Structure 1
Amino acid sequence: MPKTYAVLVFALSVLSRSASAFEPLPPETMDETHTFRVEVLQVTDIEPYQEAYAGFLSALQRNDVVAGKNLDINRVKIDFDIENGGFWSRLGVLMRIRQEAARIVAAKPDLVLTIGTPATKFARGMLADAHIPLVFTAVANPEDVGCLSLEDAGPGATGSTLYADMGHSLKVVHDIFPHVSRIGMIHTDDENGVANVAAAAASGRSMNMNVTSRLVAKTDSIIPSLKELYDDGKGVQMYAVPLDTYYGLRHYEAAVDLGNFGAEHKIPVVTLAMVRVPGAALYVGADFGMVGSLAGVQAAKILKRRVKPDVLPILRQEVPTVLIDPQRVASLGVQLPQAILDHKTDGKNGFWQIELVKQ
């Protein structure tokens, strides 16, 4: 999310498995002479990935692993036309990932960071065979990249995930918009978007929230689907945005159109991912920068303590970040419940920070 959208952290004390997850390692573990060599691999260069990378470097720096001092880091970004990528384009990306993985194996770095699902999924096998520690970040579902579970990455790997409990996220939505029972979601064949919509539909049932979805191509306009779901006021009462690359294409065209449509028809727009959606009244999800920092915490243990990645659990933000735009909420005629207001703290750029405890 860009600087104009403040990263407002929701319950910092429970972001990881212990309150000390972000504390530097004990001094006795530090190697004062070795220069650590780290390779970074990702597919596409998108803003959330940059946030994750920055968080990763920040966590290393807190543990005295600093580029230019005792860290030599090489970052490769594989280009991919997400909007127009067909079968052959995807095959080409797969081949590029394999080529870069082969180069990395030959270089024998101390550690590899993969950012995002594709780079992690298609590089990890070669890295595991070469016994090169792998740390991943910005992966929505660890099981999609070959992990044994949400907590166990399997041989040779660990990292951090964007995975958030959809039931918890929808509970926040329900607390703020208790009258909403019909939610519309529009997604592409992006596997993260598909998974998010399925999780929302399953979790919403227990709260009497029915999710209706529409599948579009990445080149499609979002407007026809918005109108179809709205159905002249007889359809959905809210639009929810999944973690789908569609909303970041063409200078956020789909996100802008969604926000404008919601404003014109007085329908709230919420996003279940920490990516920019102009016009959203509520953001609920894992923060890319924070998740990147969690990967850095694990990487520091591997580099400085020589801990095997298999020993380390996959970390995740246990409670989602929550951002509220009070002006947008007020324009919808919604009065925020006192339970939310009681936990409001000062935010930035018009957003409120809500600090609640994990449920």
Structure 2
Amino acid sequence: MKKKVLAMVLVMGMAAGVLTGCGTAKDVSADNGKYAIGISQFAEHGSLDNCREGFIEGLKEEGLEEGKNLEIKVSNADADTATAAQIADNFVSEDMDLICAIATPSAQAAYNSAVNTEIPVVYTAVTNPEEAELATEDKMPVGAVTGTSDQLPVEAQLQMIRKLLPKAKTIGILYTTSEANSAYSIKQYEKYAEDYGFTIETAGVTNTSEVSLAAAGLLEKVDCLTNLTDNTVVSALPTILSQAEEAKIPVFGSEIEQVKLGCLAAEGLDYVNLGKETGKMAAKILKGEAKAEEMEYELLTDSSLYINEKAAENLGIEIPEDMKNEATEVFTEITEE
């Protein structure tokens, strides 16, 4: 009997796109008692990698383990939307049991490819599923597509920045113009910035080759930078950090891996836990305990404080002791990629 392949296209990332139609999850009982999962990751960087690893761990906790009753196929789109679409089409042509997509562009591509099939899609690291047209305003899926959101804790980040930089006035944000998640996050920063005495200055890019020039221009106008979960910008983070350090401008991250690389601090989500929750949702679908088209997407709201003392030392910034005590992790060195 032909072995059934379970494709989980783990879509981490966010980008704009038009999604139409609706899908119905098929019967996902696997031949020979084994599933094969395909993970489609939009880009390669720490937060998405953590999401993928957490996703696999979440499946394992629910009894689906690679090498036993599960096969996993991993594909990376290298931050290219056309490649993400090709990966999704390939998973559909292989008649996967489930596509799990990591990041918005991958999630949109997976849903578009699977919309007229019985293949359910599970996504993670999608900041705003509504704006990505993957869910309705009441958090319900538009078809056989559900997952988890990594919406940024913007107010907690602004509070943290204000405490570390009491005299700062302007926060700069680099973003990719085609990423829906970034556009949404900027709106949130603009909504709350005034409450904390900040104004927001932005600079948009279309690809990584534009990041250096855009960063140079932005650094002349701001007191600090704060990163989003923008895949293109995060992929070029070492370049941004080098320029910012030379200009003595602090850079704040949006999750733990960015702080390890040299961002001063972050109020961020735990992307391993985000992936785990996604894996558990996927397991329920695969085991027939739930249907993707009936599952609300999940929004993780708890954030953790991460601090890099070495980055603070390089910038001549004193970290208050109470913040060090509150931090989930304090790093004393900068990790080289």
The TM-score range, normalised by the shorter chain, is: 0.7 to 0.9
2:202, 2:218 within 8 Å by CA — same for their partners in 1?
no
- The residue number in structure 1 matching 2:296 is 313
CA distance in 1, matches of 2:69, 2:234: 36
The whole-number CA distance in structure 2 between the counterparts of 1:298 and 1:259 is 41
Give 2:52's aligned amino acid.
Answer: Y
Quickly say closer, same or farther: Cα 1:41–1:145, change in 2 above 3 A: farther
Q: Tell me how large the CA RMSD over aligned residues is.
A: 3.1
**Whole-Å separation in 1 of the counterparts to 2:164 and 2:185:** 20
Match of 1:236 in 2: 222
1:146 to 1:52, Cα distance in 2 relative to 1, 3 A: same
- Structure 1 residue 58: deviation in Å? 0.7
1:198 is aligned, of 187, 206, 213, to 187
Distance 1:95 1:217 in 2: 18
Instruction: Give unpaired runs (5+ residues) of structure 2.
Output: 1-29
Q: CA deviation at 1:114?
A: 1.2
1:287 is aligned, of 263, 270, 280, to: 270
Amino acid at match of 1:103: S
Other-structure match for 2:305: 322
Q: Which amino acid aligns with 1:160?
A: T
1:312 & 1:207 partners in 2: Cα distance? 36
Q: Does 1:137 align with 2:124?
A: yes
> Shift of residue 274 of structure 1?
4.7
* Offset of residue 42 of structure 1: 3.5
1:178/1:299 CA distance change after superposition, 3 Å: same
| 1:151-166 alignment runs, 5 A limit | 151-166=139-154
Q: Distance in 1 between matches of 2:51 and 2:239?
A: 23
Identity rate of aligned residues, in percent? Answer: 20
Identify the residue that residue 188 of structure 1 maps to in structure 2. Answer: 176
Contact 1:133 1:156 in 2 (8 A): yes
Structure 1 alignment gaps of length 5 or more: 1-30, 83-89, 352-359
TM-score by length of 1: 0.71
2:15 equivalent in structure 1: none
Q: Which amino acid aligns with 2:184?
A: A
Give yes or no for contact 1:117–1:145 (8 Å, CA) kept in 2.
Answer: no
Cα separation, partners in 2 of 1:261 and 1:40, compared to 1, 3 Å = same
Could you tell me whether the CA contact under 8 Å between 1:185 and 1:239 is conserved in 2? Answer: yes
Whole-Å separation in 1 of the counterparts to 2:193 and 2:286: 42
Query: Number of residues paired by the alignment?
Result: 300
Q: Distance in 2 between matches of 1:312 and 1:118?
A: 21
Per the TM alignment, residue 125 of structure 1 is displaced from its structure 2 partner at its CA by 4.0
| CA pair 223-293 structure 1, distance change in 2 beyond 3 A | same
User: Relative to structure 2, which stretch is displaced further, 95-104 or 279-288?
Assistant: 95-104
Contact map agreement 1:188 1:215 (CA 8 A) in 2: yes
- Indicate which of 222, 226, 239 corresponds to 2:216: 226
2:306 partner letter: L
| 2:152 and 2:254 in contact (8 A); partners too | no
Query: Of 148, 169, 177, which residue of structure 1 is paired with 2:136?
Result: 148
Q: CA 1:137–1:340 in 2, change beyond 3 Å: closer, same or farther?
A: same
